[in-house]
Chain A
Amino acid sequence: MNAAGFPLLSLLTFLPLAGAVAILCIRGDEATVASNARWTALWTSLIVFVLSLILWFRFDPRVADAQFVEQLAWLPDFGVNYHMGVDGISVLFVLLSTLLTPICILASWEGVQHRVREYMIAFLVLETMMVGMFCALDLIIFYVFFEGVLIPMFLIIGVWGGQRRVYAAFKFFLYTLLGSVLMLLAILALWFRAGTTDIAGLMDVPVPANWQYWMFLAFFASFAVKVPMWPVHTWLPDAHVEAPTAGSVILAGVLLKMGGYGFLRFSIPLFPEASAFFAPLMFALSVVAVIYTSIIAFAQDDMKKLIAYSSVAHMGIVTIGLFTFNQQGISGAIFQMLSHGVVSGALFLCVGVLYDRVHSREIARYGGVAKIMPAFALVFMLFTMASVALPGTAGFPGEFLVITGAWRSSGWVALGAGMGMILGAAYMLWLYRRVIFSRITKNEVKGLLDLSPRELAIFAPLILLTLWMGLYPSSFTNVWEVSVAALIERHEAALSVPRLAGL
């Protein structure tokens, strides 16, 4: 058995599903159903979060391998098993998912008024899929959860979204599905060769170099869309703009991380030579993403679109870090993913606060908000600064480590990544200035109320986390340090074999 003494990961994965079933059984008139659905969803997700804290406390950061492992025979004839476990790389993503879900449910408390039951079910199912995906240690299980995420997200955008929600939902679905189909082919090919889809088992069967390139590209097709990397990023701004606030939070907070996590978990360890071979391409695409999307962000009139584009730029930093193959770069990339999950999630919540009051995402409709909503202005300022990577906030360590790590590969890549510092400051401050500063001229802005206790409760954990990650990042990097070191070691060993053979 594992460190928790009971199948904790399965519990974390399927408890939300049980909550969803419970919500399904609620009967009564519409108001009762809505209220019960909200409370059930909130309590379920809170319990899941508290349970997931056990992971944090009982996780042993000195061990590189998977912990809390559970294994059940599922399709033993095909070498496919139900295999769950977390290592240093995935454990914090599980926590990120379980933290953001109750926040999202709380954030939609008043914003969502129709089909509340279905909404809450969608979110709980989504949580199951996310947690399961980060825990899966079997490719097929991973693929099921990875794809499963699409369904509730598709519904959340398509049903509770804005005006162009159907276009955005389909665009989101088709983009991500198309990539995944190619990945499925590669998974089948891997299974065909190795006779198993167990991730640890696959590591022991090196993939021949000429296969690696094609398989890498197939996985790349799926993960690059998820990240999203340039030039397959255009689904993201549309999805964000149309999604309800909580949908955006999960989308930016967790779903984008699935791509980066996938690169780290599969592409780099399974295809070391192809990864090294394609690293320059990854750098090029990422640097373009950082600069190109940062510049586009500057031109946006829609708050959500601006933050969506900034997400693409920040994820560009992540993909740069991943392909540096050194401790600083990869640790920085993981840190950046986590911090981006917190910070961009919080930024979307900030937009949501304004949207709930004025029902507009258009920047020009605001101005001078600082005067009447000082607490909100302060919170927004904190996350703005975290987004531009001010030292002392969550945004800094990741970006700093990635730039340092990238310098090892090439000074130009580091410079390109660093351009985000300048451009990021430009578009974020430009946004802040137009929304928060200057004189109040719009009538509808005059009557706004400052943050409610519910909203403060939503922001409090995120504020705490943003400062904690900025002031004491070692408490996070320690968790994955050993796992990342093992990953790099394996990567270098794999690369040195053909070289030795070549000698």
Chain B
Amino acid sequence: MFVGAVFFPLLGATLAGFFGRWLGDRLSMWVSVGCMVLAAICGVSAFVEVGLHSAPRVVTIAEWIDVGGLSVDWALRYDTLSAMMVGMVTFISTFIHLYSVGYMSHDETPPRFFAYLGLFTFAMLMLVTADNLVQLFFGWEGVGLASYLLIGYWYDRESANRASMKAFIVNRVGDLFFMLGMALTFWTFGALTFGDIFARVEEMRGATFAGLPALEVISVLLFLGACGKSAQLGLHTWLPDAMEGPTPVSALIHAATMVTAGVFLLARMSPIFEYAPNALTLVTIVGASTAFFAATVGCVQNDIKRIIAYSTCSQLGYMFFAIGVGAYQSAVFHLFTHAFFKALLFLSAGSVIHAMSDEQDIRKMGGIWTKIPITYAVMWIGSLALAGIPFFAGYYSKDMILESAFAAHTGTGMYAFAMGLIAAFLTAFYSWRLLILTFHGAPRADRHVMEHVHESPAVMLIPLLVLAVGALFTGAAFYELFVGHHEGEFWNGAIYTAEHNHVLHAAHSVPEWVPLAPTVIAVAGIALAYLFYMFAPSIPARLAQTFPGIHRFLLHKWYFDELYDAVFVRPFRMLAQLFWKVGDATIIDGLPNGIAAVTSDAARGVARFQTGRVANYAFTMIAGLVVFVSVIFLGFTR
């Protein structure tokens, strides 16, 4: 069961990838769905056994690396945190596989797509069940590879190739810090296995590296690693571009699983972060800023998937600042509920795109809600959950995060709280902007497209409905377990809270206006969206005209891409030419080539003496003799 949950997706990927040619498109699709169903059964029962019946365990598979005290195994660690992730990932991934059967039915090479999906799920499962940092890194890079392949799935599109490369390289920047974090962890703790690291945290609290507390440095390095994968401010640029991949990919990778890896890492390493207060402060600031930044950009984008991508980025910011204030449980809770409603939003966006003949620009949609009512309904549910409207899943987790930030009673905590509130307002605003522009108003697509608007087939609708149920109820159902008064028993030590950390407890007793505020603000955001896009559609255009600078700033996503292009990409290309043409070809090669040239010139000069005439030789000899004899005589006479 424990092994099956992780390895069934790999089996499915292998079958679809290598035997797809013989199985045929349809069969290989269903084979991988079948493998995912098995994995989900294993995964959910593992969650029930480990999470609900408190039986953590480690399943060792084989030895991996063992060099001079640095020894790590291939092992699956099942505690509540990883079991919960396994259950969630296998469950959601199964429905995304199912959805893809419909969505990719017109594609040329569906077996390849399913092989990538299976590979991705496998890598994510290896990541969450890792028993040591190195195996976590295996999964970490594995999801990087799979997402590279999936984003660039349509490899004959230049934009897809560009986006996939960007995703891999930007992720690599984070991975470098992860690697360095591992190195320092090893030299600090003498081990990379979680159990051994955590056992020695107390003893190593005083350890220093280059004059700085080692735990702080480790935490910062790992956090920078997490920034890459979880698209935090600065390393977020790959995520919106990743929407070049097929929509199920966006749902799986860029919503429910891969981007949550960073949050998972920080929660997993909570025993170290708990003793790194400065690192946590940094996490809070970056997380809160990301939440705000992404929400502002989301308000002006026009690509339906891009808007949702920025909302993912923003929600990840929430999770990070929750961790920053010490409320790991709230962060993981939001990760869990977010996975459901974000997958739902992406898949319903996919359903819209499918209906609109692959149109993604919301300016060219509108007036289709009667034609695709089920998609419309589930999209509402997803948006309500995202905006944190009471009793939907997002309400419980987002409120919890904001309450935790407030309850932290620190300057950065309040900054996070304020940013979180603003972001909540903007989230509601852009979600309804998207809903209204996509579904309401007069149709803006051409007649040809409008004629073809149709509801998706059952194989796509069933996943939507299941995820909608998740977006409705996961919040209420799991609130008590994840962040309630008895969370300690549920987590069973999988998430560590130091004795000085009472944030979660305090979050339950904040002033009454705090839990109310997000709801009120979200409703205000919705109202504003209705005003702008339903009742007075001229306002947004006029606003954009009145404040062209701000509008352009947001439209260009705060100019991050342009900045990186100017600071990194272009100098890099120039440097490459410079090093090659000047450094290597002129300077380094110049020396030996120069010597060679001098040698051959000299040889040619000397060769001129070889005239072949005896008289010349005789003359030279005599001249030489004269000089020689004179020297001797001069020497004697002196």
Contact = CB atoms under 8 A, between A and B. Distances in A.
Interface stretch (B64-72, B198-206, B239-247): B64-72
A248 interface: no
A493 interface: no
Interface in A366-391: 368, 370-371, 385, 390-391
B245 to A, nearest CB: 14
Nearest to B576: A299
Contact of A425 (B156, B172, B579): B172
A328 B145 contact: no
Contact of B67 (A237, A296, A426, A481): A481
B157 to A, nearest CB: 8
B379 to A, nearest CB: 33
A282 B169 CA distance: 28
Contacts of B594: none
A206 interface: no
A373 B74 CA distance: 34
A473 B180 CA distance: 21
A478 interface: yes
Nearest to A434: B161
Contacts of A406: 183
Given A234-B584, A295-B572, A397 B169 contact: no
Contacts of A433: 152, 161, 165
Nearest to B165: A429
A437 B152 contact: yes
A188 interface: no
Contact of B155 (A295, A421, A438): A438
A415 B583 contact: no
B499 interface: no
Interface in A396-410: 397, 400-401, 403-404, 406-408
A411 B138 CA distance: 22
Contact of A295 (B137, B176, B187, B579): B579
Given A391-B138, A404-B183, A407-B184, A331 B68 contact: yes
Contacts, number: 143
A373 to B, nearest CB: 13
A249 B356 CA distance: 52
B161 A474 contact: no
B161 A298 contact: no
B584 A296 contact: yes
Nearest to A385: B145
Interface in B567-583: 572-573, 575-577, 579-580, 583
B145 A390 contact: yes
Nearest to B70: A328
Among B62, B137, B158, B169, max chain A CB count under 10 A is at: B169
Given A421-B179, A429-B168, A298 B572 contact: yes
A430 B74 CA distance: 32
Interface in A308-364: 326-328, 331-332
Interface residues of B, number: 50
A403 B155 contact: no
Contact of B592 (A175, A233, A371, A478): A175
Contacts of B65: 397, 400-401, 473-474, 477
B156 A439 contact: yes
A437 B155 contact: yes
B142 A392 contact: yes
Contacts of A471: 64, 74
Contacts of B209: 411
Contacts of B175: 421
A419 B134 contact: no
A409 B63 CA distance: 28
Contacts of B184: 407, 411
A414 B183 contact: yes
B577 A407 contact: no
A459 B399 CA distance: 56
A485 interface: yes
Contact of A422 (B62, B176, B573, B576): B176
B577 A299 contact: yes
A421 B172 contact: yes
Given A175-B592, A299-B576, A485-B68, A403 B179 contact: yes
B579 A477 contact: no
Interface in A427-476: 429-430, 433, 436-439, 471-474
A468 to B, nearest CB: 12
Interface string B185-210: 01100000000000000000000011
A422 B64 CA distance: 24
Top 8 closest pairs, chain A to chain B, by CB = A327-B68, A299-B576, A407-B183, A391-B138, A437-B155, A439-B156, A404-B183, A418-B176
6 contacts: A295-B576, A300-B580, A390-B141, A397-B65, A411-B210, A477-B67
Interface of B: 62-70, 74, 134, 137-138, 141-142, 145, 148, 152, 155-156, 158, 161, 165, 168-169, 172-173, 175-176, 179-180, 182-184, 186-187, 209-210, 572-573, 575-577, 579-580, 583-584, 588-589, 592
Interface of A: 171, 174-175, 231, 233-234, 237, 292, 295-296, 298-300, 326-328, 331-332, 368, 370-371, 385, 390-392, 397, 400-401, 403-404, 406-408, 411, 414-415, 418-419, 421-422, 425-426, 429-430, 433, 436-439, 471-474, 477-478, 481, 484-485
Given A175-B592, A437-B155, 15 more contacts: A296-B579, A299-B579, A300-B580, A391-B142, A404-B70, A407-B180, A408-B187, A419-B176, A421-B175, A426-B572, A433-B165, A471-B64, A474-B63, A474-B64, A474-B67
